[in-house]
Structure 1
Amino acid sequence: MNWGDWIDLVKHLLAYSVASIGGPLGLVSELHRYLVTQQQWLTDSQFNASVVLAQAAPGPNVLFIALLGWNIGMNAGGYLYAPGIALLSLIGILLPSCSMMFFATKWLSRNQELRAVKAFKQGMSPTVIAMLIASGWLLATANTATLSDWRLWATTGVTAILIIDGRVNMFWLLAIGGTLGALGLVA
């Protein structure tokens, strides 16, 4: 990879940051298209492992961007590049969205009664939900061997119902899912 590639990566992350309504997880499908399909800087398994590992770790869910950057750096030149590209990726994804949120929340709090503000908030909900569903679908179907595994889909369905119901703490669901995976009951 050369300097042009790094600049291209940062430009894309800056643009994605502006579009990351609902958080960075809504960008998973677009990031996959760019990093895996188009640029081929990461493999499917590296991409999915980065997202899943960051979501399993405590802390903000934007950490998967740093892991993606780390893996790109490792593929490009090993430990010499990985820390810098991880940091560059985080700055690229955080700077625009954090700046916009700072100014937008001030403006929205002063103008929350405007009809346009209310309409904007109502219109964004389905968009954010659709982006998160697309991200979930991409992660669920990345491994073609899992597409025919009824146990995996049953676990996914039951988990979704329990999350929507809201009476079961999500940490229990994570623990159960991890245990099922560790025992080899779901792939």
Structure 2
Amino acid sequence: MTAALLAKLGWRFFIMAFLAIGGANAVVPEMQRQVVEIERWMSAGEFAALFAIGNAAPGPNVLIVTLVGWRVAGIAGALVATLAMVVPTSLLTYAVFRVWDRLKDAVWRRPVQNGLSTVTVGLVAATAWLLASATDVSPFLALVTAATAALSYFTRLNPLWAFAAAAALGAAGLV
């Protein structure tokens, strides 16, 4: 592990931090493109596995960043990637919300908020599509993904039940 690798890793996540409207999951497609396609630090399957671990673990969805940094450059990489992703956005969020609170009566505030919500939903949907396409390597796995998505969207059932069912299918050797 070199300082150049840590600097490159930090720069990639620093830039992505400013695109993460709605959280780290909003930039997962770009994160995957950077670490899998451009830098070739890992395979698409490894990235999908890190994403699954990061979301299965308790805590914020930014854990994927820490796991990617760890996979690329060990503990130093985990620290660099996490700090590069969290510190700039934390400072920016603090500044924006101070201003946003002062503009609570502005006529244009609600339309801007609604527009940003729509962008966030689109970015998270792109994340879902990217990860599904990387892991659905058979018709049966695509069916499991579709069933999980339908269950999550059309019912109030906790999605962890669908994940547990998928894990049971995997443990049974069916996938």
Same fold by TM-score greater than 0.5: yes
User: Displacement of 1:54 after TM fit?
Assistant: 1.0
Match of 1:76 in 2: none
Shift of 1:147: 4.1
Selected match of 2:125 from 133, 136, 157:
133
- Cα shift at 1:105: 2.0
Equivalence map 1:26-105=2 (5 Å): 26-73=26-73, 82-105=74-97
Q: 2:116 aligns with which of 115, 120, 124?
A: 124
Matched residues, percent identical? Answer: 29
1:168 alignment counterpart: 157
1:64, CA displacement in angstroms?
1.0
Query: Per-residue deviation at 1:166?
Result: 4.2
Q: How many residues align?
A: 175
Unaligned runs of 5+ residues in structure 1 are 74-81
Q: TM-score, structure 1 length as denominator?
A: 0.84
> Residues 16-70 of structure 1: CA distance to partner in whole angstroms, max 9, x if unpaired?
1111001111111111111111111222222122111111111111111111011
Call closer, same or farther: CA 1:161–1:44 in 2, change over 3 Å. closer
CA pair 68-2 structure 1, distance change in 2 beyond 3 A: same
1:155 corresponds to which of 136, 144, 158 = 144
Q: Is it true that 1:184 corresponds to 2:160 in the alignment?
A: no
Counterparts of 2:128 and 2:153, CA distance in 1: 15
| Contact kept in structure 2, 1:46 and 1:71, CA below 8 Å | no
TM-score by length of 2: 0.89
Counterpart of 1:180, as a letter, is: L
